[in-house]
Chain A
Amino acid sequence: MKVISFKNDILPLKDKLFRLALRITRNREEAEDIVQDTLMKIWSQRDNWSKIQNIETFSMTICRNRALDIQQKHERMVVSLDEETHDRPDNATPADEQMIQAQKFGAISKAISQLPEKQRTIIQLRDIEGKPYQEIADIIGISLQDVKVNLFRARQKLKSTIGAEQN
């Protein structure tokens, strides 16, 4: 089996991990922190690298789980703030970066950011990273069929958004 090098095999995954984290959290700083945490966690498990079948899938899974944890924490904080201030925003506030992109790509960017997390992640992994269905299923921990169903729903949503824009 090939010996895994952190510098040559794991660190170069940083951009893919960053894009995945960014797709989930929609915040650059948080996404960067998530990638850092992910890489440190992978490093701490270096004694087990030889047992890992696909280091990229493994890294993406850790990254997604970390991003979901952060998301959940934020949601809990938003709920507690709501209870205290009763000042609830209309929608989940996208970060500044997302706002800039939203201006440029308008409806597309907004439509993707409003998809449920699973659909958003699948669009990210399939349509942006170009990953096979099986790898996406492995990263998210769902069946191949579920990947296709979620991707179908996401693409249909985007198609209807484009159609609505056109009209």
Chain B
Amino acid sequence: MNYQYIEQLLERYWECQTTIEEEQILRSFFSQPDIPMHLMQYADLFAYEAKEKEESLGEEFDQRILAMIEEKKVVKAKEVKLSTRFAPFFKAAAVVAIALTIGNVAERTLQNNSANDATGSTTVADTYARRGEITAKIRVIDQNKSEAIAKADSVNNQAAGTNQSLVNEEIAETPAE
């Protein structure tokens, strides 16, 4: 079997020119049982590195950490206890305040509307009444106007009569030439 490729990879590995994938190929190669004698000396290095990757912490460690975090969570909840506890009351108070405000506004709007309606009917009645009054006044004015015209006519007639008698008197007084 030709191990030239592995030898080349190994040379490049020492020079830090291999990629992660190529280093993985080296690790896989050295993890197998059939390694040629001349490469055997490097097997320990890769075997050691593979073994070191198995170092781990047990399940107990996870439980301990999670318990510590839970403890911290509880402590944090206590820190914000007051505001957190009263939050629902503040919410309820806010809802009530909004409801009251809306109710108040609605009530006022309704009252204003009915008041406007009442004022409106009075105005119409007033208008009708005033129209009657105005018509009556117009009639009176018409009547006065007719009387005034009649008086004016009679005054004119009288004045015409007076003028005629004055002319006649002048004619009578004028001496004959």
Contacts and interface: CB of A to CB of B under 8 A. Distances in A.
A132 B20 contact: yes
Nearest to A152: B16
Contact of B55 (A15, A40, A112): A15
Contacts of B15: 152
Contact of B16 (A6, A105, A151): A151
A18 B72 CA distance: 23
A162 B41 contact: yes
Contacts of B55: 15, 18-19, 22
A109 B48 contact: yes
Interface residues of A, number: 41
- Contact size range, B: 20 to 34
A129 interface: yes
A159 B13 CA distance: 10
Nearest to B21: A130
Interface stretch (B60-68, B83-91, B136-144): B60-68
B57 A15 contact: yes
B3 interface: no
A155 B16 contact: yes
A166 B38 CA distance: 10
Interface string B19-49: 0100110000000000000000110110111
A36 B65 contact: yes
16 contacts: A14-B61, A15-B56, A32-B57, A35-B57, A35-B61, A36-B64, A36-B68, A43-B72, A44-B72, A105-B47, A109-B48, A132-B20, A151-B16, A155-B13, A159-B14, A163-B41
Interface of B: 13-16, 20, 23-24, 41-42, 44-45, 47-49, 51-53, 55-57, 61-62, 64-66, 68-69, 72
